[in-house]
């Protein structure tokens, strides 16, 4: 009887080990944002000094072009937001609390032709994730959206979300600091993650000081606040300003509907 029990224990341990170490190379999982659309607030610009126009779709086209194109011909996609997680098992994204690091990276074009790597001179934001297999991971905060269509995603299980951090988001080739930044994704298996949301707060002061690079079509040279309803000089009759994570600072919660995919990511040894 003891021998039978030992045999059963042995095979039980072996089966568990096989479940854990399915990936022969044990490479850590990394996700890359593949589409990103700002859905709240919208951005408005007075065109021809006549019509206050919603130019959010044009802005989102710029974002998504940056996520797929190599405009400067350096061999890397222009914009790569990577989240690297301390597991080699994709299923653990939605079943384990994990340490994670968020990177501004260089990824090859075409994607997957080589591993993504940290962009020179960048350092990661270190965070952790929480998971859910039976409830919502991330949704818009109460009283911080303005009814635009489509609405920000509500990310339901099986999903994970990063903990709130200050995060430098790269847009238009420059970075803006978002406080309380979180990213949440739904994972059903395979390489693609869907129904994602990222959100973060920019203060009115920071938005007024952020100047969009002059080379950006249509909006180059303008401040971010100039484009956001309620911002200095914005043409919209609406005021979409919110209060930040501290409940005091005025600015905007920015919501992005995103999708992501798993990618190979290498951190070179120094």
Domain ranges of the chain: 25-263
Provide the β-strand partners of residue 2: none
In this prediction, residue 270 carries a pLDDT of 55
3-state secondary structure 37-92: EEEECCCEEEECCCEEEECHHHHHHHHHHHCCCCCCCCCECCCCEEEEECCCCHHH
CA 175 to chain centre: 14
Q: How far apart are CA 59 and CA 38, in angstroms?
A: 8
In this prediction, residue 68 carries a pLDDT of 96
Q: How far apart are CA 171 and CA 236, in angstroms?
A: 23
CB neighbour list of residue 127: distance below 8 Å, 6 or more residues apart:
99, 100, 101, 102, 162, 163, 165
pLDDT by position in tens, the chain (length 270): 434 333 333 333 333 323 333 444 468 999 999 999 999 999 999 997 789 999 999 999 999 999 999 999 999 999 999 999 999 999 999 999 999 999 999 999 999 999 999 998 889 999 999 999 999 999 999 999 999 999 999 999 999 999 999 999 887 778 899 999 999 999 988 889 989 999 999 999 999 999 998 988 889 999 999 999 999 999 999 999 999 999 999 999 999 999 999 999 998 875
Q: How far apart are CA 136 and CA 210, in angstroms?
A: 33
In this prediction, residue 175 carries a pLDDT of 86
203, 250 in Cβ contact below 8 A? yes
DSSP string, 88-118: S-GGGGGTS--EEEEEEEE-BSSTTSS-BEE
Residue 201, CA atoms < 13 Å, CB-side half-sphere: 22
pTM of the model: 0.89
In this prediction, residue 18 carries a pLDDT of 31
Q: How far apart are CA 213 and CA 215, in angstroms?
A: 5
In this prediction, residue 31 carries a pLDDT of 96
Phi, psi of 226, rounded to the nearest 5 degrees? -65, -25
In this prediction, residue 173 carries a pLDDT of 72
In this prediction, residue 3 carries a pLDDT of 42
3-state SS class at 208: helix
Residues counted in the chain: 270
115, 145 in Cβ contact below 8 A? no
Phi, psi of 201, rounded to the nearest 5 degrees? -110, 135
Q: Which two tokens stand for residue 4?
A: 């039978």
Q: Which two tokens stand for residue 200?
A: 């973060």
């Amino acid at each position: 009887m003891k021998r039978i029990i030992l045999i059963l224990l042995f095979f039980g341990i072996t089966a568990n080990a096989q479940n854990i170490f399915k990936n022969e190379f044990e490479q850590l999982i990394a996700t890359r944002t593949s589409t990103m659309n700002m859905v709240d607030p919208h951005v408005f610009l007075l065109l021809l000094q006549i019509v206050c126009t919603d130019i959010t779709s044009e802005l989102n086209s710029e974002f998504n072009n940056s996520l797929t194109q190599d405009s400067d011909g350096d061999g890397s996609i222009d914009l790569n937001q990577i989240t690297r997680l301390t597991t080699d098992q994709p299923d653990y994204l939605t079943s384990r609390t994990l340490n994670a690091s968020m990177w501004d990276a260089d990824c090859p074009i075409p994607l997957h032709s080589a591993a993504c790597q940290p962009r020179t001179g960048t350092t990661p934001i270190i965070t952790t994730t929480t998971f859910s297999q039976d409830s919502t991971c991330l949704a818009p905060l109460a009283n911080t959206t303005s009814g635009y269509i489509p609405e920000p995603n509500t990310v339901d299980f099986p999903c994970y979300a990063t903990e709130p951090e200050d995060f430098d988001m790269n847009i238009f080739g420059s970075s803006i600091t978002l406080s309380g930044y979180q990213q949440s994704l739904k994972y059903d298996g395979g390489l693609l993650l869907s129904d994602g949301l990222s959100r973060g707060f920019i203060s009115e002061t920071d938005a007024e000081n952020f100047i969009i690079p002059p080379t950006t079509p249509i909006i180059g040279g303008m401040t971010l606040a100039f484009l956001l309803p309620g911002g200095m000089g914005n043409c919209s009759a609406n005021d979409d300003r919110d209060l930040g994570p501290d409940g005091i600072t005025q600015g905007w919660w920015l919501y992005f509907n995103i999708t992501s995919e798993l990618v190979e990511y290498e951190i070179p040894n120094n």
